[in-house]
Amino acid sequence: DTGVSQDPRHKITKRGQNVTFRCDPISEHNRLYWYRQTLGQGPEFLTYFQNEAQLEKSRLLSDRFSAERPKGSFSTLEIQRTEQGDSAMYLCASSLAQTSFSTDTQYFGPGTRLTVL
Amino acid sequence: TQLLEQSPQFLSIQEGENLTVYCNSSSVFSSLQWYRQEPGEGPVLLVTVVTGGEVKKLKRLTFQFGDARKDSSLHITAAQPGDTGLYLCAGEKEEITNAGKSTFGDGTTLTVKP
């Protein structure tokens, strides 16, 4: 399978705990995106990387959210001190952008479903 | 206010019927994508449109990008139960500073009854 993969698929945690999700993009893709999706809504953009550079992070929901892509391949999204409102599906997508400003098509992973008790 | 408004929000039809769903905005988009999402899964890309007035066909699905690149429609002919799902449109606004930042609509939930 050469698609985008995410791990874990499901995570249940208690309020106040930290969680980390992993995303492995399609191997030749240089861009990687994180989204959050709540029930009844479309995905909400959080942040994205071009190779290892994080080009946009102003839409991360709070300073409890952080993302890394240290070697320009896989990425992690961490949520510290989780709150019940963080319960959602966290989606990762990747794309192959020709230039820093080019339009590209994103391919999504299956998502990580987070439940905060 | 949603940047991309999708309508209708819900649609329930019988197998064999035709349907059209819409994605509208007051902003111009450099490209627009349509995705289909099943419960508990990520969105799966159906098509990308980039040229105003462009029409693309994918079997029984016909996608159209508005001439002004502000809106799009998805028409399904002879719907089947396997078409059931959440149909999402997404786009990148034309301004160069928005490259890489896709905005999604809230989707149309389609149910096709056998």
Among A38, A36, A17, which Cα is nearest to A83's? Answer: A17
Sign, CA dihedral A46-A96-B44-B75, equals positive
For B89, the closest chain A residue by CA position comes to: A42
pLDDT tens for A75-90 read 999 999 999 999 999 9
In the chain, the amino acid numbered B49 is: V
pLDDT of residue A28: 87
B93 pLDDT more than 80: no
Q: Which residues contact B29 (CB under 8 A, 6 or more apart)?
A: B69, B70, B91, B92, B93, B94
If you average pLDDT over every residue of chain A, what do you get? 90
B1 pLDDT more than 80: no
pLDDT of residue A103: 62
pLDDT of residue B101: 72
Cβ within 8 Å of B, A 67-106: 91, 93, 97, 100-106
DSSP string, A49-90: EETTEEEE-TTSSSTTEEEE-TTSS-EEEEE-S--GGG-EEE
Q: Which of A35, A58, A106, A107 to mutate to test the interface with B (most CBs of B within 10 A)?
A: A106
pLDDT of residue B98: 57
